[in-house]
Amino acid sequence: METRRITVLSAGLGVPSSSRLLADQLAAAAEHRLADAGFEVTVEIVELRDLAVDIANNFVTGYAAPRLADVIAGVEASDGIIAVSPVFSASYSGLFKSFIDVLDPKSLEGKAVLLGATGGTDRHQMVLEYAMRPLFSYLRTRMAATAVFAGPQDWGNTDDGGSPLSSRIDRAAAEFAALLAGEQSARKPAALESLPFEQLLAGISGGR
Write out the CATH class of domain 3-206.
alpha beta
* pLDDT, tens digit, 9 for 90 and up, residues 94-123: 999 999 999 998 999 999 999 999 998 777
Please give the Cα distance from 31 to 26 (Å, whole number): 9
Strands 80-88 and 91-92, sheet pairing = antiparallel
- Evaluate whether 83 touches 118 at the Cβ level (below 8 Å): no
Question: What confidence score (pLDDT) does residue 160 get?
Answer: 46
- Show the low-confidence residues of the chain (pLDDT under 50): 160, 186, 189-195, 200, 205, 207-208
d(CA 181, CA 203): 41
Tens digit of pLDDT for each residue in 40-60? 999 999 999 999 999 999 999
Cα separation, 173 vs 27, whole angstroms: 8
